[in-house]
Amino acid sequence: AQSVTQLGSHVSVSEGALVLLRCNYSSSVPPYLFWYVQYPNQGLQLLLKYTSAATLVKGINGFEAEFKKSETSFHLTKPSAHMSDAAEYFCAVRPYNTDKLIFGTGTRLQVFP
């Protein structure tokens, strides 16, 4: 079964530091990939998505992610963390031949002043 793995359930950074949240997928055919953010007591909101066009995808709030087929990765980055970025981040995969959207276990990002 196709899935995503998020390395690190918790990541802590200082305000202004680089944010790197890791996501690896398992699929023999490159799937569609998504990053979502969840703020406390809210639903999930799309940050960005990869749909086989450009491998470097830019999203909202200054986030971007790069699709690397050779590494089966889709890591999320932001050059400079903001306090408001503190939230839980989910990587998700939609396998090539299905409408299912399968989520990773999530990474909680903490930002310290």
Partner 1 sequence: DAGVIQSPRHEVTEMGQEVTLRCKPISGHNSLFWYRQTMMRGLELLIYFNNNVPIDDSGMPEDRFSAKMPNASFSTLKIQPSEPRDSAVYFCASSAGLQQTEAFFGQGTRLTVV
x-marked contacts with partner 1 along 50-89 as a string, rule CB under 8 A: -xx-------------------------------------
Q: Which residues pair with 91 in a beta bridge?
A: 35
Residues binding partner 1: number (CB under 8 A) = 23
67 close to 74: Cβ distance less than 8 angstroms: yes
Among 32, 72, 77, 110, contact with partner 1 (rule: CB under 8 A): 32
Sequence-ordered list of residues with C-beta below 8 angstroms from that of 72, at least 6 positions apart, any chain: 24, 25, 26, 27
74 close to 82: Cβ distance less than 8 angstroms: no
Binding residues for partner 1, per CB under 8 A? Answer: 32, 34, 36, 42-46, 49, 51-52, 90, 94, 96, 98-106
